[in-house]
Amino acid sequence: MNRALRIIFSRYGIVVIILILVLGVIALASQRAQTPLDGGNSSNRGSTSEASSEAFTEDDGLATENCEGDDCYPEEELPQEAVDQSVEFAEAWLNPNGYGPDGWYDSIIPFLTEDQAELLQGVDPSEVPATEITGAPVPDGLKVAFPMDTGTLTLTMTEGSNNLTGTGWLVSAIDWEQS
């Protein structure tokens, strides 16, 4: 008995045990690949299995066989309503009325997703690194870039809702690049 335990718990015994486990997993996986998608119930060949089969082969239009890199997915374009909302936010973000932290936060919160609003809570508006928008907004996908006097403000827009404005286009991320 001691000899059998020594063999099993030796490094060679452990290697054999691991090899058996790996081969068992491979055998189960290959058998699962041969099982029909309806859970092995091949007698139920109705419209459900045909619909499932069609759903797996139907082209969704997002990728092609020769697709590489970022060209695989269609570029989303923001509607004018989203760009307008981003302009209103950028103007409020600059704090032209000279609000204190609470007033500034109250002026920008209607434009923000709840997550972004939490991130900006308690921010001092005197820390905003710009004072004016110097060019037209530049939409690119779901982002809108604003050239400013000291850099570029980039806002990521998303369609959603918050507690103040209901459903519409909101700022979900703010990025600042110093020039």
Could you report the per-residue pLDDT of 127-140, keeping only the tens digit for each?
A: 999 999 999 999 99
**Cα torsion 124, 126, 127, 130: sign:** positive
Query: For residue 179, what pLDDT band results from cuts at 50, 70 and 90?
Result: confident
CA 11 to chain centre: 46
Tell me what pLDDT residue 68 has. Answer: 58
- Is the confidence at residue 95, as pLDDT, over 50? yes
Give the H/E segment covering residue 146: strand 143-148
Better-scored residue on pLDDT, 100 or 166: 100
69 or 120, which is more confident? Answer: 120
**Distance (Å, whole) CA 132 – CA 25:** 63
d(CA 75, CA 135): 24
Lowest mean pLDDT among 23-27, 32-36, 94-98, 162-166: 32-36
| Model pLDDT, residue 53 | 46
Distance, in Å, from the CA atom of 153 to the CA atom of 140, rounded to the nearest integer, reads 13
Percent of the chain with pLDDT over 90: 54
Segment 152-169 mean pLDDT: 89
Please state, in angstroms and as integers, the Cα–Cα distance from residue 109 to each residue in 1, 6, 116, 143, 161, following that order.
Answer: 74, 69, 9, 19, 12
Residue in 40, 37, 42 with CA at minimum distance from that of residue 54: 37
What is the pTM for the complete model shown?
A: 0.59
Residue 112 DSSP symbol: B
Asked if residue 8 has pLDDT above 70, the reply is yes
Alpha helices in the chain (DSSP H): 2-8, 11-33, 47-57, 80-93, 101-108, 114-120
Reading the block at residue 43, the tokens are: 């007698």
How far apart (Å, rounded) are the C-alpha atoms in residues 18 and 26?
12
Pairing of strands 138-140, 143-148: antiparallel
Give the pLDDT band (50/70/90) at residue 63: very low
- Mind listing the pLDDT tens digit for each residue in 75-89? 678 899 999 999 999
48 pLDDT more than 60: no
Distance separating alpha carbons of residues 140 and 104, to the nearest angstrom: 27
Q: State yes or no: pLDDT of 108 exceeds 60.
A: yes
